[in-house]
Amino acid sequence: MRIGATLYFDYQASTPIDPRVLPVLAAQFADTFANPHSADHALGWKSQEGVEAAAAQVAQTIGADPDEIVFTSGATEANNLAILGLLPKAPKGRSRLLVGATEHKCVLAASAEATRRGFTVEHIRADAAGTVDLEDLTQRLADDVLLVSVMAVNNEVGTIQPLDEVVRLAGRVGARVHSDAAQALSARDIDMAATDVDFLSLSAHKIYGPKGIGALYVRRERRNELSPVIHGGGQQGGLRSGTVPTPLCAAFGAAATLMVEEAAAGERTRLTALRERLIAGLLELDPKNRLNGPVGVARHPGNVNICFVGQDSRDLLIRLQPRLSASTGSACTTGIPEPSHVLRAMGLSTDDAEASIRIGLGRFSDQEQVDEVINLFESVL
């Protein structure tokens, strides 16, 4: 995708809204502006119908039921609701949380808050490909574990985690399982009817929908185990207060439906081919360059993360401006840059982590753009 003079290759950070979704968003803003919780008039009913239809679309996308969908402002809020919402009603004796070392910052931050509330948090090791260490998880599991949180697909290196095995192991000790699946729908099929994941977080702007809307899937049997983290009018069955934004919900539903249409599998195959072309081209530029993360089917089809050994990733990206949008994958806390915690957890040195760049492909990437990206890197290395 080209925006003016810039090639957009940061799809794991955010996706552009699909042109097929925009009309849904615009129509809802124009015609369904009433508060969906206004139960005394027809326009309120119409708005609520739009929310219910969107919940059905999102639910169908992941093989769930509409009443198991709780709309949030995004995956960050959904992750917080799943983790912190489970604490107040935790059974006596269940005081430990096991969290993947390569989780998104919001999961790590919510887990840190849990420690301030008297719970113990342990990080599950990851291997060199970013895959959660199942042996380490097994050793940590015991009857005092309340929750295991492992993301479905990593946002920095594209690792597709063995979620079914995580669920199986956690089930042995009766622990609940949460998964941040913000990146998952573009990489793998999700069927909540075929897995025992208890809580699953989603985000619209990772699947070609708008920012500001996401959802937490709450398995029906677990609903009474959660407490709200936002208090107010008790909307959405008391789990998430606040006026639900009908237009954003509708656009989320439309975007989710596109992720599982008949062409979705072919899109993943197309992206995988582009990904491999990009990886090969970047590695050929310098024999020292290395791919971070897994190879083949264990990787998100649109994720490339390259260590340009001996380089400074921020310097490279600055020299590529405004021609390329990509990301270091590193977090900035209060303006202080730090190396990616994901790459460090995978065993990379600080220097190698700071030499790494994430390049994300998506629905509007093509072969010509991929070749241009390779040429851009060649010009600045």
Residues 142 and 239 in one domain: yes
Q: What is the pLDDT of residues 235-278, one digit of tens each?
A: 999 999 999 999 999 999 999 999 988 778 899 999 999 999 99
Residue 307 falls in the annotated catalytic set: no
Q: What gap in Å lies between CA 351 and CA 309, rounded to an integer?
A: 8
Instruction: Tell me the HSE value of 244 on the side-chain side, using a 13 A CA sphere.
Output: 31
Q: What is the pLDDT of residue 264?
A: 83
Residues 60 and 175 in one domain: yes
* Count of Cβ atoms closer than 10 Å to residue 244 Cβ: 22
Q: Read off the CATH number of the domain in which 135 is found.
A: 3.40.640.10
Three-class secondary structure of residue 94 per DSSP: coil
Domain interval for residue 290: 2-17+263-380
- Supply the pTM of this predicted model: 0.96
Tell me the two tokens of residue 319.
Answer: 């020299």
Q: What gap in Å lies between CA 328 and CA 309, rounded to an integer?
A: 14
Q: What is the pLDDT of residue 335?
A: 58
Number of domains the chain is built from = 2
Between strands 214-218 and 2-3, the pairing is unpaired
Three-class secondary structure of residue 281 per DSSP: helix
Q: What gap in Å lies between CA 168 and CA 220, rounded to an integer?
A: 19
Residues 216 and 325 in one domain: no
Residues 199 and 77 in one domain: yes
Residue 80: partners with Cβ closer than 8 Å, 6 or more residues away: 106, 110, 229
Q: What is the pLDDT of residue 336?
A: 60
Helix (H) or strand (E) holding 218: strand 214-218
Q: Read off the CATH number of the domain in which 305 is found.
A: 3.90.1150.10
Residues 8 and 78 in one domain: no
DSSP 34: S
Residues 267 and 255 in one domain: no
Residues 231 and 246 in one domain: yes
Residues 272 and 346 in one domain: yes
Residues 31 and 46 in one domain: yes
Residues 188 and 64 in one domain: yes
Considering Cα of 373, then 374, then 380, then 381, what sign does the dihedral take? positive
Amino acid at 369: Q
Q: What gap in Å lies between CA 287 and CA 228, rounded to an integer?
A: 52
Q: What is the pLDDT of residue 375?
A: 98
Tell me which of 259, 285, 306 is where a domain ends.
Answer: 259
Residues 170 and 121 in one domain: yes
Q: What is the pLDDT of residue 261?
A: 83
Q: What is the pLDDT of residues 77-115, one digit of tens each?
A: 999 999 999 999 999 999 999 999 999 999 999 999 999
Residues in the chain, pLDDT under 50 = 331, 333-334
Residues 326 and 309 in one domain: yes
In this structure, the dihedral spanned by the alpha carbons of residues 356, 178, 113 and 77, taken in order and rounded to 10 degrees, is 80
